[in-house]
């Protein structure tokens, strides 16, 4: 049994359809179907039940698929440890982060990393927190960009920074006049109760920052006046900049825009813990550690730069 064939099985299990799996594997459907038939005959049991809806794992198949995952993880850990012995001369880092964070972080960290380690391959996965945790739980990625606490508290992680969540207000809004002088955050601040009845530009439901804002409003018994929702930070910030409403954004996303002023939420500010999540297997390669250092350094630079943007 070749490791390549085990990957075929996992790809079939992931998609549940021969056509989709064949497309990902760059194989003909007929070849993949014949492979599966022959493979099951060698094993002496069916891995999948064929239905109109696609492939459904049998009980034996479920056990086999889990075992295949473990075998491939062992292989992956072996090669990671082997690359460490070569002192970062080669290797791979699979890094996952949200599509919202990616445009703010990747253009900085990828060039910095590749300059130092040109022979280490970086593979980027843009995915939400839930999917990142699933990938880490299965040890399918080396590193995830997460907020703490995670849904799965058993996953190892390294704390990065405490990121302040700021209020972005159009400069002509009367709310700006209610701002207090800089407090402990070093930034002018607004009473959270004064946000009530303001026109809100918010993230779509289930987005981490949407959950943060809803919790904040519940805590202060405020009624949100949501005028628009979007999936894009960029869209929300641009809409706020032209006076369509106020919005919330992480300090690391700050950029100088003429139409906006940025305030802390309350005198003490509101923060969230950013961390780098590691795989459940517990193994962290030297290449992953090196990339982690560059990511954290960049976050601290962004945090420092944000202090100069009012």
pLDDT for res 159: 98
**Claim to verify: residue 157 and residue 280 sit in the same structural domain:** yes
Whether 224 shows a pLDDT value over 90: the answer reads: no
Element (H, E) at 118: none
200 and 173 housed in the same domain: yes
Identify the pLDDT of residue 1.
Answer: 63
Q: Note whether 18 and 142 are same-domain residues.
A: no
Q: For 24-28, 52-56, 88-92, 146-150, which range has the lowest pLDDT when averaged over its residues?
A: 88-92
pLDDT of residue 223: 84
Residues 6+ apart with CB under 8 A from 243: 170, 172, 173, 259
Domain shared by 254 and 290, yes or no: no
Shared domain for 169 and 268, answered yes or no, is yes
Domain hosting 141: range is 73-161+274-308
Same domain, 186 and 147: no
Report the domain count for the chain. 3
What CATH code is carried by the domain that includes residue 115?
A: 3.40.190.10
For residue range 120-163, what is the model confidence (pLDDT) as tens digits? 999 999 999 999 999 999 999 999 999 999 999 999 999 999 99
pLDDT band at 87 (very low <50, low <70, confident <90, very high): confident
261, 176: one domain: yes
Comparing 1-5, 159-163, 251-255, the range with the smallest average pLDDT is: 1-5
> Is residue 49 domain-shared with residue 87, that is, in the same domain?
no
Provide the β-strand partners of residue 163. Answer: 272
Q: Which of 44, 64, 84 is the last residue of a domain?
A: 64
Model pLDDT, residue 268: 95
Q: Which of 64, 93, 117 is a domain's end point?
A: 64
Sign of the Cα torsion 144, 298, 98, 217 reads positive
Last residue of a domain, one of 46, 64, 82: 64
Residues 244 and 207 in one domain: yes
Q: Are residues 244 and 183 in the same domain?
A: yes
In DSSP notation, 227-274 reads EEEES-HHHHHHHHHTTS-BEEEEGGG----TTEEEEEESTT-EEEEE
Which residues are within 8 A (CB) of 25 and not within 5 positions of it... i.e. 6 or more apart?
A: 7, 8, 11, 32
Task: Based on the fold, state whether residues 32 and 169 are members of the same structural domain.
Answer: no
Cis check: omega of the bond before 149, within 30 degrees of 0: yes
The answer to whether residues 25 and 93 belong to one domain is no
Q: Supply the Cα-derived Rg of the chain in whole angstroms.
A: 24
């Amino acid at each position: 049994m070749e490791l390549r064939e085990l990957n075929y099985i996992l790809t079939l299990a992931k998609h549940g359809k021969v056509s989709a799996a064949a497309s990902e594997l760059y194989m003909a459907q007929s070849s993949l179907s014949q492979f599966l038939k022959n493979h099951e005959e060698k094993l002496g049991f069916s891995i999948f039940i064929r239905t109109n809806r696609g492939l459904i794992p049998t009980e034996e198949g479920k056990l086999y698929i889990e075992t295949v995952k473990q075998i491939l993880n062992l292989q992956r850990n072996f090669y990671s440890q082997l690359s460490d012995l070569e002192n970062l001369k080669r290797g791979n880092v699979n890094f996952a982060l949200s599509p919202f964070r990616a445009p703010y972080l990747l253009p900085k960290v990828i060039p910095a990393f590749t300059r130092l380690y040109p022979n280490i391959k970086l593979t980027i996965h843009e995915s939400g927190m839930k999917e990142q945790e699933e990938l880490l739980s299965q040890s399918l990625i080396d590193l995830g960009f997460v907020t703490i606490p995670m849904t799965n508290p058993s996953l190892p992680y390294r704390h990065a920074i405490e990121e302040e969540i700021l209020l972005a207000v159009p400069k002509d809004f009367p709310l700006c006049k209610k701002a207090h002088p800089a407090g402990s955050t070093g930034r002018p601040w607004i009473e959270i109760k004064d946000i009530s009845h303001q026109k809100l530009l918010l993230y779509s439901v289930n987005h981490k920052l949407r959950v943060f804002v809803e919790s904040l409003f519940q805590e202060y018994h405020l009624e949100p006046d949501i005028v628009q929702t979007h999936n894009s930070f960029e869209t929300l910030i641009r809409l706020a900049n032209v006076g369509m409403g106020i919005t919330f954004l992480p300090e690391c996303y700050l950029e100088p825009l003429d139409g906006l002023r940025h305030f802390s939420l309350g005198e003490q500010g509101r923060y969230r813990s950013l961390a780098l999540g590691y795989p459940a297997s517990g193994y962290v390669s030297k290449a992953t550690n090196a990339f982690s250092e560059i990511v954290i350094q960049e976050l601290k630079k962004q945090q420092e730069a944000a202090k100069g943007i009012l």
